[in-house]
Structure 1
Amino acid sequence: MPAIHLPRTIRIGGGVLADLPEVLAQNGLSRPLIVTDAWIESSGLLERVQTLLSAAGLASRAFTGVVPDPTIAAIEAGCAFLAEGEHDCVIGLGGGSPIDSAKMIAVKGTRRVPDLKAPHQENTPGLPIIAVPTTAGTGSEATRFTVITDAETDEKMLCAGLAYLPQIAIVDYELTLSKPLRLTADTGIDSLVHAVEAYVSKQANPFADSMALSAMRLIWPNLPRACKDPADREAREAMMLGALQGGIAFSNSSVALVHGMSRPIGAHFHVSHGLSNAMLMPVITRWSAPSALPRYADCARAMGLAEAAESDQGAVGRLVEALHQINADLGVPSPKAYGIDKARWDHLLPLMAQQALASGSPGNNPRVPEVDEIVELYQAAWG
């Protein structure tokens, strides 16, 4: 049986951001570096967090240089900022990019980021990591992974190991109430992909399965609700819990082919991670399902798409159809409709396929592709 790894402390619910000073104190931490981005700073949330900490007698500094799809250069800048202060922990405040950045800044030290990419496993802890997610999507608050982009090679590097697992996660759905539609949709589908891939992965196990199925039950009916009415607190709470459970599921199982193929799209064409997952999910599910029909059928039933008595084949048919439909409903564009240059797309397909395979994620897929099959799947997803 696999070992199960979780944050030491998880606070969940509306308003639990207020618990941050107490939780830090319980863990003997008092000098946090907050890692975030310019949007969180401009929204007033950073000031709110720093005021909260200051009122409890905790001195903090903030690095606001996080960029989307965090780059090595941004990580190096964050590490230099960390070294200028005397910090005993790192808080990632924001979506996946700030939390992933916080993880690497807390762990890297003087090493080169490319030396830490998978298959390397980094298990020696750095500074304690505290994750405060503001999007219901990445699940990074509960995972032992971070993804950093090498801007020189356009490669999204998966870095893995227990060192990246946050010690504390503060999961407050109220922080998502102001999320715009596109971000709600893309991060929500990202969460769904985490859950489905964890469940069908070759690394699946009973603990991760329970988290994955619960995440699907929460995400599928509530994603359209959260997109339709951003102030729907019940839907927002369900999406936040589903994202957390999806993160726990894939951190203790794995992601698979969708994620492996998604990262190169993000690296080369700067498509957001959740959106590139959504672009690929229906095509890859249809291709992969024959190799794990009962598992995909379980997903369809958990999402309420098929009755228990329906055949696995019928249930999976409904699943693929529903994945196409939710992309249409939520305005998910194909790579073509997104505006990606066709000539550059075609030229990069062999490299993208090789990068996808090299990430290791496709090896966990129920049906493991060759390079030429990945190229064909990219071509099928194009339009």
Structure 2
Amino acid sequence: MFLPEHYEFSCPVKINSGNRALEHLPFELDTLNARKPLIITGKNAAGRGLVDIAIDAFKDSGITIGIFDGVPSSPDLKLIRELYTIYRDRGYDAIIALGGGPVTDAAKVLNIVVSGEPEDLEKGAGHNMIKKPLKPFVMIPTLAGSGYETSRYAFFEGRTYSSHYLMPHLVVIDPRMTTAEDAMTTAGASLITLTHSVEAYVSPEKNPLADSYAFPAIRFVMEHLVNVIRNPRDSNGCLALANAHCFAGCAFSGTAWGIAHTLGKAIGEACNISPGVCMGIILPHGIEMQHSRGGRHISDLLLPLAGSDMYAETAEDLRAQKAIDILLDFQKDLFTISGGVIARTLEGAKVPKEMARDIAKKSVGYGSEIVGMDDFLKIWEHAWEGS
């Protein structure tokens, strides 16, 4: 097992997962000295009856809750001002985010504001600019996430916030909340999870604690995503994927951004398509480039990707290439079982080829320490063609 000469890792997230996990929420809030939480969510969760399930968890608890179900797909400053006024004037003392993606980003940004002053929103942007703990923050995930829910990151109006204080104090994973939606939504979130956990596992900043989160995240996605796409009613598979999303966010927060994350995020933003699918397409090609550069941990990746039997059966000098081949085959499997909805190449995802240089330039601007402009363009070429 690899032990670096020096590493840092912090994960304040407590995870409660299992049947009727929501019913423990009043007790958990009490341990956080919270008695009046504001639940924020979007219309999708409300329309699917998830808000009613969350409300029932507080029955007979004596806790007063508030509900705001109007978080849009792109939260803005007007929304945060509205939520800040509601939170302050009605005396709430905690935030519960029901759902993922924009809901979680809005909750994290709101927590910056209600934990200090409104101007802290501008001061807090950037890396480690939030200097003190925030109000109690609980996350109730669904499968329609962005992959950043448990991470140290929030993205809001073009700004990136990065602080361990943004990570939720508690995540409650209840199978009633983690039912699968359409194939693209489920795959998009899970491929971000796979990318974050794989790249954490082979990162130059790899460490034993990040590995402890990345390993089960990889295993759960590899074991369950294909089955959940085939059978969205696979409740155990959906629960495993929700757990994987949470684990990967913690691993991602303790390591550097990788190639597939960086380029996939840039493509998704520039082309308004699923960043998760883009990351999944790019991932094997990014790992292959790391391997060609002497990446020392690539062969280790075979163990979480394929399990102990295949790892033991494969010669040590063949394990890295086997891991890359498995990632390529996994993307092909998703393409096949989804009837082509989940693309296996950037061309298939309808990414304009002529945008390659501009997007690669933006990727370099994200600060990847692993590759430069020419490297991103080479990876793009392989991912666009699927070669």
Same fold, judged at TM 0.5 (above)? yes
Q: Which residue of 2 aligns with 1:162?
A: 164
**What is the Cα deviation at residue 104 of structure 1?**
1.3
**What is the Cα deviation at residue 221 of structure 1?**
1.7
Q: Residues 262, 71 of structure 1: CA spacing in aligned structure 2 closer, same or farther, 3 A cutoff?
A: farther
Q: Which residue of 2 aligns with 1:353?
A: 360
Report if aligned partners of 1:294, 1:312 keep a CA contact under 8 Å in 2.
no
Q: Which amino acid aligns with 2:92?
A: H
Report if aligned partners of 1:65, 1:78 keep a CA contact under 8 Å in 2.
no
Name whichever of 271-280 and 331-340 sits farther off.
331-340
Report if aligned partners of 1:215, 1:242 keep a CA contact under 8 Å in 2.
yes
Q: Distance in 1 between matches of 2:378 and 2:72?
A: 32
Q: TM-score, normalised to structure 2's length?
A: 0.84
Structure 2: give runs of 5+ residues left out of the alignment.
1-5, 336-341
**What is the Cα deviation at residue 140 of structure 1?**
4.0
Name whichever of 76-85 and 245-254 sits farther off.
76-85
Q: Which residue of 1 aligns with 2:42?
A: 37
SS in 2 for 1:259: helix
Name whichever of 203-212 and 104-113 sits farther off.
104-113
Q: TM-score, normalised to structure 1's length?
A: 0.85
- In the alignment, does 2:116 pair up with 1:121? no
Q: Residues 55, 246 of structure 1: CA spacing in aligned structure 2 closer, same or farther, 3 A cutoff?
A: same
Deviations 1:266-294 (A, max 9, x none): 22222233222113212212222223544
Q: Residues 191, 137 of structure 1: CA spacing in aligned structure 2 closer, same or farther, 3 A cutoff?
A: farther
**What is the Cα deviation at residue 19 of structure 1?**
1.6
Q: Residues 158, 235 of structure 1: CA spacing in aligned structure 2 closer, same or farther, 3 A cutoff?
A: same
Match of 2:96 among 80, 91, 95: 91
Q: Which amino acid aligns with 2:17?
A: I
Q: Distance in 2 between matches of 1:296 and 1:259?
A: 17
Structure 1: give runs of 5+ residues left out of the alignment.
151-156
Report if aligned partners of 2:149, 2:246 keep a CA contact under 8 Å in 1.
yes
Q: Distance in 2 between matches of 1:62 and 1:137?
A: 20
Q: Distance in 2 between matches of 1:8 and 1:149?
A: 26
Q: Residues 61, 266 of structure 1: CA spacing in aligned structure 2 closer, same or farther, 3 A cutoff?
A: farther
Percent pairwise identity: 23
**What is the Cα deviation at residue 116 of structure 1?**
3.6
SS in 2 for 1:92: strand
Report if aligned partners of 1:117, 1:159 keep a CA contact under 8 Å in 2.
yes
Match of 2:22 among 12, 17, 24: 17
Deviations 1:308-333 (A, max 9, x none): 25345522222222222222221232
Q: Residues 302, 69 of structure 1: CA spacing in aligned structure 2 closer, same or farther, 3 A cutoff?
A: farther
Q: Which residue of 2 aligns with 1:154?
A: none
Name whichever of 15-24 and 314-323 sits farther off.
314-323
Q: Which residue of 1 aligns with 2:339?
A: none
Match of 2:242 among 225, 240, 243: 240
**What is the Cα deviation at residue 34 of structure 1?**
1.6
Q: Which residue of 2 aligns with 1:330?
A: 334
Q: Which residue of 2 aligns with 1:308?
A: 312
SS in 1 for 2:177: helix
SS in 1 for 2:298: helix
Q: Distance in 1 between matches of 2:97 and 2:7?
A: 28
Deviations 1:166-191 (A, max 9, x none): 11111223321243322222222221
SS in 1 for 2:171: strand
SS in 2 for 1:295: coil
SS in 2 for 1:239: helix
Q: Residues 277, 75 of structure 1: CA spacing in aligned structure 2 closer, same or farther, 3 A cutoff?
A: farther
Q: Residues 247, 121 of structure 1: CA spacing in aligned structure 2 closer, same or farther, 3 A cutoff?
A: same
RMSD: 2.7
Report if aligned partners of 2:126, 2:161 keep a CA contact under 8 Å in 1.
yes
Which structure 2 residues correspond to residues 1-383 of structure 1 after superposition, within 5 A?
A: 1-7=6-12, 9-53=14-58, 55-68=60-73, 70-71=75-76, 74-108=79-113, 109-111=117-119, 115-135=123-143, 138=146, 140-150=148-158, 157-304=159-306, 306-308=310-312, 310-331=314-335, 332-333=342-343, 334-343=345-354, 345-346=355-356, 349-350=357-358, 352-360=359-367, 362-363=368-369, 368-383=370-385
Deviations 1:141-164 (A, max 9, x none): 5322222342xxxxxx43211220
Q: Distance in 2 between matches of 1:382 and 1:117?
A: 34
Report if aligned partners of 2:23, 2:58 keep a CA contact under 8 Å in 1.
no
Q: Distance in 1 between matches of 2:144 and 2:194?
A: 11
**What is the Cα deviation at residue 133 of structure 1?**
0.7
Bigger fraction of residues in helix: 1
SS in 2 for 1:278: helix
Report if aligned partners of 1:136, 1:191 keep a CA contact under 8 Å in 2.
no
Name whichever of 50-59 and 32-41 sits farther off.
50-59
SS in 2 for 1:146: strand
Q: Residues 317, 242 of structure 1: CA spacing in aligned structure 2 closer, same or farther, 3 A cutoff?
A: same
Ranges of 4+ aligned residues in structure 1 off by more than 6 Å: none
